[in-house]
Amino acid sequence: MEFEKEVYAMKFKVTRTNTTDEKPCDGAIKEIYSLIDKRHCMIPEDIHNSSKYKRFYLKWHELGTNHRITDDGIERELQREGWFITLDSLEELIKFKNSVGKPCIVSTSGNINTIEIYDGYRE
């Protein structure tokens, strides 16, 4: 019995360690995306009352949309712009890494899969 191979394309936000807004690689397309901002406190007021979050000078509801309370904290969606590529397989990910000629760090941040092209030092 033969099984058909299902292909699930994955979209990755691509960045370079040393640059911020420049196109990071060939084939990358600039897109607007929704970043889910999660905080592990049960009410927005906890952000403003905690010394850990003092740097967030804006009230929670002043930025973003779809503010909500979840089982493990609070969330909101923030609109951001970034460079994206779509890869269909692990083999394509390996080809991508080889084509940029630098180490790549693949991770997930919130709801966004990311590839950082590590082309310089960072702490």
The number of domains in the chain is 1
Asked whether residue 33 is domain-assigned, the answer is yes
Domain that holds residue 38: 10-117
Asked whether residue 70 is domain-assigned, the answer is yes
| 115 phi and psi angles, rounded to 5 deg | -125, 120
Q: Are 25 and 100 in contact (CB under 8 A)?
A: yes
Asked whether residue 53 is domain-assigned, the answer is yes
Asked whether residue 92 is domain-assigned, the answer is yes
Local mean pLDDT, 10-residue blocks, the chain (123 residues): 69 90 92 90 72 61 89 91 94 93 89 90 74
- Residue-wise pLDDT for 86-102, tens only, equals 999 989 999 999 999 99
Asked whether residue 3 is domain-assigned, the answer is no
Asked whether residue 104 is domain-assigned, the answer is yes
Asked whether residue 102 is domain-assigned, the answer is yes
Asked whether residue 122 is domain-assigned, the answer is no
**In this predicted structure, what is the pLDDT of residue 3?**
61
